[in-house]
Copies of this chain bind each other. A is one copy, B any other.
Amino acid sequence: MKKDIICPDFPHILHGGDYNPDQWSDCPDVLEEDMRLMKLSGCNTMTVGIFSWAKLEPSEGVFDFSFLDKTFDDVYRNGGRIILATPSGARPAWLSQKYPEVLRTFSDRRTALHGKRHNHCYTSPLYLEKTAIINGKLAERYGKHPALIMWHLSNEYGGECHCALCREAFRNWLKAKYGSLDNLNKQWWTSFWAHTYTDWSQIEPPSHIGEDCVHGLTLDWKRFVTHQTADFMRHEIESVRKYTPDIPVTTNLMGFYQGLDYREISKYIDVVSWDNYPSWKGDGSDIDLASEIACVHDLNRSLKHKPFMMMESTPSCVNWKPFNKLKRPGQHMLSSLQAIAHGSDTVQYFQWRKSRGCSEKFHGAVVDHVGNENTRVFREVSELGKRLSKLDQIVGTQTVAKAAILYDWSNQWALDDANAFCKDNKKLLPTLNNFYRPLWKRGINTDIIGFEDNFDKYSLIIAPMIYMVDGRLEKKIADFVETGGTFLATYVFGLVNENDLCHLGGTPCGSLKKVFGIISEETDTLYPDESNKVTMDDKTFTAVDLCDLIHAETADVLANYSSDFYTGMPAFTVNRYGKGKAYFIAFRDKGDFADTVVSKLLSECHITSDFDGELPYGMTAHSRTDGDSIYVFLENFSSSELSTSSKFNWTKVEDGSAVTGSKINLKPYETLILKR
């Protein structure tokens, strides 16, 4: 198994963060201190230039790279490396003023005023041109600088624009997709409410002041927004790649952000990176939260099935949540190493030094306004820096998973948009997490995969709330089960096709009725104060929110509803199909049923953790490997000391010492990095 190292010339865990020396140009002493403190903290990588356009091009066509020249030289001289951003995330005021077409238009057709960030039109030819110029200048000037190790494209791409240029681009995208208006009308079912289009020019993006009842339109608009964002990003990539063909590019993603299909975005970047801001509380709730964050790490790793980057995190607190609590001592170490455990090869921060003014001045940073190293936060960052410096051997190692969870952006978009069930809160992600947690707490490596991923390498695939199933997915599922896989689906399964048209002829769609051996006739929606009962092996579980009323055709019934008018109807089934098994859960449970089922399925599929001890709740273990050695991160997310028992035979990665005996204790928030 080959290591996949982000920067082969700098094969270390990257540690550092967003660095804005352009805010401190007037303070040479601050800039000098930054270099001293960088080394002191064990940081080695600075991300610069994200919001520097106004500094770099103070007026149209006039460029000033002096601050960047100095930064590149200073950082490199002090042993660091630089991730250089393209500055498109926030444009200079003169640009908006002279070329208003770059301003975004809202869905109600009002145009934004200049301000904030992340709000340019993705279609504007002028903006494409202006970003290409500044990006090219940057690439030309710093492409050969030995400090440069990566491009950071823009910042947290997102949002949408409804200007005339975007609307026309949308129509062209639709023409390419559907060929004819007649086909579009059919796929969008526009005979409903007389919504038939008779000319392409009649098509407008969805809007609360216009059309928002044609779900096919809404879904395609979301896909178009991804397409157009990717198109803009590809222009950015081209503008630097011609100068720096060997420098990898990334852009920082935002977990399960619903504005973009990150599987599409990921195709065009070399490395996936993301910004990680969980709300640690320092109490028992942190354990569930750790599982949720682990899931997002796994998603990011699975996007390209290789090591990724944690591009942003805070060493202390954020400033934009309703309540901005400090990380408790030890939590920074723990949450940073969690990222590495799940496949990140970096720990980076927003931000290096707190700014003096504007909206992020109180966002946690390595260096506080006090300006020195005598803070709790700086000390914790430095301790982490020391540990990270001893993990070079882990850089580039891979994650092997036999279990996967199916997640698709289009599926969630369509499901969330559906007028049905518990209409305003479908809870797909909480449901997904209810299935992920049982895997996570047992130390099972898990991939979060999409419809296009290869299913063959998994023994077990869990598909929570896969409402949208097209012909290809239908066949992939059938093939997977037929050839021996175990597939678990749930309520609201296979109701619509890829354009959100309902499948006719019964649910789940097409051949899946045979694969699962069931027919789902109706879906009952419960009020939040209601629940139902499900009985399996004399144990009773609670059903909430959604209950499919299903009939078992060839499937075996493993659990039944035991209250309300559907008492006795199947609630959990399995069907042998080919060499595999297709399981179906008809109801939403509060987590314990999912846990029971996952435990059973892991056992049936012979999937085990790479760590050989029992894991009490709060302690877990995830592994990476280079094919020879296995690296296990044993972590305690609880605020109490926890222990695990077995016959251990490991070595500690950081000092090579042996970890043997029958018991390992972990202090609160402690992480042990083991090797075998």
Digitize A488-511: 1 where CB-to-B-CB distance is under 8 Å, 0 elsewhere: 000000000001111111110000
Cα A372 to Cα B121 with chains together (Å): 49
Which residue of the partner chain B has the closest CB to A214? Answer: B358
Does A288 reach chain B (CB closer than 8 Å)? no
Q: Which of the segments A37-45, A195-203, A391-399, A443-451 contacts the partner chain?
A: A195-203
Q: In the bound complex, do residue A110 and residue B194 qualify as a contact, i.e. CB atoms below 8 Å apart? A: no
Q: In the bound complex, do residue B109 and residue A502 qualify as a contact, i.e. CB atoms below 8 Å apart? A: no
Q: In the bound complex, do residue A522 and residue B321 qualify as a contact, i.e. CB atoms below 8 Å apart? A: no
Q: In the bound complex, do residue A319 and residue B526 qualify as a contact, i.e. CB atoms below 8 Å apart? A: no
Q: Which of the segments A382-390, A416-424, A622-630 contacts the partner chain?
A: A416-424
Chain B residues positioned under 8 Å from A190 (CB to CB)? 54, 358
Q: In the bound complex, do residue B325 and residue A525 qualify as a contact, i.e. CB atoms below 8 Å apart? A: yes
For the complex formed, measure the closest distance between the CB of A646 and the CB atoms of chain B, giving whole angstroms.
Answer: 32
Digitize A200-215: 1 where CB-to-B-CB distance is under 8 Å, 0 elsewhere: 0110100101111111
Q: In the bound complex, do residue A90 and residue B204 qualify as a contact, i.e. CB atoms below 8 Å apart? A: no
Cα A26 to Cα B191 with chains together (Å): 11
- CB contact list, A209-242 vs B, under 8 A: 209-216
Does A123 reach chain B (CB closer than 8 Å)? no
Q: In the bound complex, do residue B59 and residue A92 qualify as a contact, i.e. CB atoms below 8 Å apart? A: no
Cα A506 to Cα B370 with chains together (Å): 4
Interface of A is mostly: loop
Q: In the bound complex, do residue A325 and residue B526 qualify as a contact, i.e. CB atoms below 8 Å apart? A: yes
Q: In the bound complex, do residue A371 and residue B504 qualify as a contact, i.e. CB atoms below 8 Å apart? A: yes
Digitize A288-322: 1 where CB-to-B-CB distance is under 8 Å, 0 elsewhere: 00000000000000000000000000001101111
Cα A362 to Cα B506 with chains together (Å): 14
Our pick among B189, B326, B357, B420 for the contact of A500 (Cβ within 8 Å) is B357
Chain B residues positioned under 8 Å from A329 (CB to CB)? 565
Q: In the bound complex, do residue B357 and residue A194 qualify as a contact, i.e. CB atoms below 8 Å apart? A: no
Our pick among B194, B197, B323, B326 for the contact of A52 (Cβ within 8 Å) is B194
Q: In the bound complex, do residue B357 and residue A502 qualify as a contact, i.e. CB atoms below 8 Å apart? A: yes
Chain B residues positioned under 8 Å from A603 (CB to CB)? none
Cα A110 to Cα B111 with chains together (Å): 12
Does A588 reach chain B (CB closer than 8 Å)? no
Q: In the bound complex, do residue A209 and residue B110 qualify as a contact, i.e. CB atoms below 8 Å apart? A: yes
- CB contact list, A22-42 vs B, under 8 A: 22-23, 25-26
Q: Which of the segments A112-120, A139-147, A262-270, A604-612 contacts the partner chain?
A: A112-120
Chain B residues positioned under 8 Å from A324 (CB to CB)? 420-423, 525
Q: In the bound complex, do residue A355 and residue B93 qualify as a contact, i.e. CB atoms below 8 Å apart? A: no
Cα A215 to Cα B110 with chains together (Å): 24
Does A660 reach chain B (CB closer than 8 Å)? no
Does A193 reach chain B (CB closer than 8 Å)? yes
Digitize A455-489: 1 where CB-to-B-CB distance is under 8 Å, 0 elsewhere: 00000000000000000000000000000000000
Q: In the bound complex, do residue A189 and residue B23 qualify as a contact, i.e. CB atoms below 8 Å apart? A: yes
From known contacts A202-B97, A319-B420, A421-B324, infer whether A91 and B358 are also in contact, taking CB-CB under 8 Å. no
Q: In the bound complex, do residue A195 and residue B90 qualify as a contact, i.e. CB atoms below 8 Å apart? A: yes
Does A172 reach chain B (CB closer than 8 Å)? no
Q: In the bound complex, do residue B87 and residue A194 qualify as a contact, i.e. CB atoms below 8 Å apart? A: yes
Chain B residues positioned under 8 Å from A528 (CB to CB)? 323
From known contacts A114-B211, A329-B565, A507-B369, infer whether A192 and B358 are also in contact, taking CB-CB under 8 Å. yes
From known contacts A90-B195, A527-B323, infer whether A116 and B504 are also in contact, taking CB-CB under 8 Å. no
Does A356 reach chain B (CB closer than 8 Å)? yes
Does A557 reach chain B (CB closer than 8 Å)? no
Does A376 reach chain B (CB closer than 8 Å)? yes
Does A454 reach chain B (CB closer than 8 Å)? no
Does A583 reach chain B (CB closer than 8 Å)? no
Does A377 reach chain B (CB closer than 8 Å)? yes
- CB contact list, A500-544 vs B, under 8 A: 500-507, 521-522, 524-528, 530
Q: In the bound complex, do residue B113 and residue A356 qualify as a contact, i.e. CB atoms below 8 Å apart? A: no
Q: In the bound complex, do residue A355 and residue B192 qualify as a contact, i.e. CB atoms below 8 Å apart? A: yes
Q: In the bound complex, do residue A194 and residue B507 qualify as a contact, i.e. CB atoms below 8 Å apart? A: no
What are 29 A-to-B residue pairs whose CB atoms are below 8 Å? A22-B191, A23-B191, A23-B192, A25-B191, A55-B191, A93-B195, A93-B199, A93-B202, A114-B211, A115-B195, A115-B211, A115-B213, A116-B212, A117-B213, A188-B358, A189-B357, A189-B358, A195-B358, A214-B357, A316-B522, A319-B419, A319-B420, A321-B423, A325-B525, A328-B565, A357-B499, A363-B419, A369-B502, A370-B505
If A116-B193, A369-B503 are given as contacts, then 15 extra A-B residue pairs at C-beta distance below 8 Å, sorted by A number, are A91-B194, A93-B202, A97-B199, A113-B211, A116-B211, A192-B355, A215-B358, A216-B357, A324-B422, A326-B522, A329-B565, A362-B419, A362-B420, A369-B506, A375-B522
> Considering the complex of A and B, which 4 residue pairs feature the smallest CB-CB distances, nearest first?
A189-B357, A113-B210, A115-B211, A362-B420
